[in-house]
Structure 1
């Protein structure tokens, strides 16, 4: 309903104002209501204190006539006030009490409410007892005040408080919306700036000044995100070019060889050679596609779930048996040091080991030794594959685990390596909750992975 932040803030201001008015108005109404409720009783007490001495002074019929005249005068002066005197002797009664008043008079003494026919509001009545004096018997004296005025005052106060609350809430809502619009102007400006940023123009950044401190944090985070998006976009463009290059080479070979074979009649042996060559290119295409699918799955957050605790030295030995012919052709030896028991997904880890060892073999001269070192730490296990070779420049080290990245820009040996091996090693390490590392020091290049202990 409230899509606009300004409307949401205005709504919040309205709720806060409503709550404040309810609390303050409710407290004020209760206090005034309590005070108004005490006024009739206070007025009755005051009037009775004035009449008490007069009522108790006279004890014969002659003098009681004077009391009746005074009570009549007081009733005429204030129409809200009524007096009744109820006695066993009609000569000492006042106010012509009916059966309802008589029954009420013989009830408990003190302040009580009496409802009379024809009156919407009750009377507040003070019932007192006057003892017998001389010829006058004991009697009950009632002084009553109509509460209509007090009730109407309470009603008017309630209406006034509700009206003020409604006006205050509406005013707070309008002012809140106006204040919110003013406060959101910098955000609206940033929104317009952000709308102008779109690929391939990602080099622009939102301005940090002049902005409120709260928005500066947001802009800094947004600019940092934009920096990462720009880098990712650049890598994606490079990655797309690399994919096109890697797929174009085998496809070009397949098309060229097939076209040459079809230009004229060939012998069965020649067609066999062409098909065998095409099969190699198709195998390379399949390898690239499979590796790309694996990396896409890893990018979506796939984790190694089928974990079994195994010996890393044993897994390295199994991998070396698989690579025995490759090592023999390259005339290199592999030396394994250390061991550790870690939870791994065997198939994935062996794939990472094959890629690490293949990478080392390709860059190791004949007769040299590749070292595999396994070191167990308190929180992680390090598996490093080190081979002697030319130093790798420092600017290349952070990117060696990127897809299709090669130190040699001329792409030599592309037929044997399509540049995804180390990227797959990193993906497998991340799937196990680990990471990768690379070092080039003293003529030794070391590639490895960290695994949780």
Structure 2
């Protein structure tokens, strides 16, 4: 037997239609049953009341035994014309009695019986319904209790047949509703089937292909729009990944080509030990460059997947920038540059990641600044009126140089992206991932990156958000 989760949508809808039909038929059937039962009781009561009034009227006019005989004839005629009717008349005087013995009648069991009693006679399949009335004494006739009973078998049988017919009609109706519901569901789901068939034609070889929402119901139009939006994002991600793979191949091809060329030249003829040492030293530099690219890529991959746990503490950012400046002191002295820290603010940071981001920003500033110029690190709080750890922070590195064309500013933080002026530094260890790492670190801290260049002054930096109360500090 199929489980519910294994059923198709059409089968599930058909089952729900059948359950709904079952509920409706059951409620209607119960209501009709109670209505018919009430009407049958009323019909029985009306029939009994008519016959009782006929007999009671005759008995009430009887004063003598001679007239009682005429009453007996009327009762006999009544019983003969309708054998399902029984009549008893019982009094203290045996001459004024009809019937062999006074019947034992049970009272009404509910208000719905309308005062009718029940009498079970020998050989009867169902009890008789009864009404009785006491006729006061008149003349020689004593008080007489008149009882009239009718057989309830025809009424019970009619009610039973009605119940069976209702059950049969209900079963047939539920089956018909289920079949019609299944057919309606299949017809209603045809647009979804067409959409599914169209989705199966999507291929990685045609990333621009999209589902067509024309002639679809509004619900599927929204679904198609959402699916096409997901395809747009996948195409963009695939395009970025393809470009990224090409960039990685390009960046790794250069040091590999250098390694192979230098090694081939060194092996082309006998070399002195000093010459071989120079070749090995050059190869080591290329290997270190490759290792740097790989390590940076691994970091960006882990950061993008959220696999890097932050150990955030509230510290003065000026002290962390100063420590980074001390680490790069030789690089600054070689370029004849000065580092100035402007501002003071405390922020929640992972100190190791913050220093890595600052190292990359300062490297970028030194690389593009005019020799002998000043590099300024501006530290501002998220709220200009406060500088504590509860307001976030903004870190900006400004240098003087040739500047960055506006068309390059938006892509400065892309992986392996370099502005044209920076392509002269191919032989250095900078491989176009420094600012991408800054962006990843800013994102890990809940912040964003920014870049601006005007009048020979280039500013590159990032913001830091305050961690939420439930976030680990």
Calculate the TM-score normalised by the size of structure 2. 0.86
CA pair 428-176 structure 1, distance change in 2 beyond 3 A: same
Q: Secondary structure at the match of 1:396?
A: helix
Instruction: Specify which of 177, 184, 189 is matched with residue 182 of structure 2.
Output: 177
Aligned to 1:224: 229
Distance 1:5 1:110, change over 3 A: closer
- Contact 2:10–2:186 at 8 Å: present in 1 too? yes
Q: State the 1:133 CA deviation.
A: 3.3
CA displacement at 1:202 relative to structure 2: 0.9
Render the CA deviation track for 1:314-337: whole Å, top value 9, x for unaligned. 222222222222222222223222
Is 1:142–2:147 an aligned residue pair? yes
Instruction: Give the 5 Å matches for 1:58-73.
Output: 58-73=62-77
Cα–Cα, structure 1 residues 227 and 412, in superposed 2: closer, same or farther, change >3 Å? farther
For structure 1, which segment, 118-127 or 419-428, has the greater mean C-alpha deviation from structure 2 after superposition? 118-127
The aligned counterpart of 2:162 is 157
Deviations 1:243-291 (A, max 9, x none): 1122222233333333433444433333333333332222222222222
Question: How big is each residue's C-alpha offset from its partner over 1:41-75, in whole Å with a ceiling of 9 and x where there is no partner?
Answer: 23222332333322222243332222222222222
Equivalent pair of 1:426/1:436 in contact (CA under 8 Å): yes
The answer to whether residue 34 in structure 2 is matched with residue 27 in structure 1 is no
| Matching residue within 323, 328, 346 for 1:323 | 328
Contact 2:348 2:392 in 1 (8 A): no
Aligned to 2:315: 310
Q: Deviations over 1:330-379 (max 9, x none)?
A: 22223222233322222222222222222222111112222222222356
How far off its partner does 1:380 sit?
A: 4.5
> What residue in structure 2 maps to residue 397 of structure 1?
409
Given candidates 358, 361, 364, the residue that maps to 2:363 is: 358
CA–CA distance in structure 2, aligned partners of residues 167 and 409 of structure 1: 83
CA contact (8 A) 1:125 1:142 kept: yes
Residue 59 of structure 2: aligned partner:
55
After superposition, residues 64-103 of structure 1 pair within 5 angstroms as: 64-97=68-101, 101-102=103-104
- Residues 139 and 395 of structure 1: CA distance in aligned 2, closer, same or farther (over 3 Å): farther
Question: 1:234-313 alignment to 2 at 5 Å?
Answer: 234-302=239-307, 304-313=309-318
- Distance in 2 (CA, whole Å) between partners of 1:409 and 1:238 is 21
Question: Which of 9, 28, 38 is equivalent to 1:5?
Answer: 9
Offset of 1:409 from its aligned partner?
9.6
Structure 1 runs not aligned, ≥5 long = none
Equivalents in 2 of 1:18, 1:442: separation in Å? Answer: 80
Deviation at 1:239, TM superposition (A): 0.8
Separation of aligned partners in 2, 1:97 and 1:443 = 129
Cα distance in 1 between the residues matched to 2:37 and 2:71? 35
Assess if the C-alpha contact under 8 Å between 1:392 and 1:440 holds in 2: yes
- Contact 1:129 1:139 (8 Å CA) reproduced: yes
Does the residue aligned with 1:129 lie in a helix, a strand or coil? strand
User: What residue is the counterpart of 1:346 in the other structure?
Assistant: 351
Q: Deviations over 1:396-433 (max 9, x none)?
A: 33332222222339944234212222222222222222
Q: Distance in 2 between matches of 1:231 and 1:430?
A: 20
Q: Does the CA-based 8 Å contact 2:105-2:119 persist in structure 1?
A: no
CA contact (8 A) 2:90 2:98 kept: yes
1:424 corresponds in structure 2 to: 437
Contact 2:368 2:422 in 1 (8 A): no
Are the structure 2 counterparts of residues 84 and 330 from structure 1 closer, same or farther at C-alpha, using a change threshold of 3 Å? farther
Match of 1:388 among 388, 400, 413: 400
Q: CA deviation at 1:141?
A: 2.3
Which whole-Å deviations, capped at 9, do the CAs of 1:153-210 have from their partners, x for residues lacking one? 2222222322333233222222222222332222222222222221131112222323
- Cα gap change, 1:102/1:215 in structure 2, threshold over 3 Å: closer, same or farther? closer
In the comparison of the two structures, how many residue pairs are matched? 449
2:119 is matched with which residue? 114
CA RMSD of aligned residues (A): 2.7
Q: Distance in 2 between matches of 1:409 and 1:48?
A: 120
Separation in 2, partners of 1:448, 1:64: 123
SS in 1 for 2:274: helix
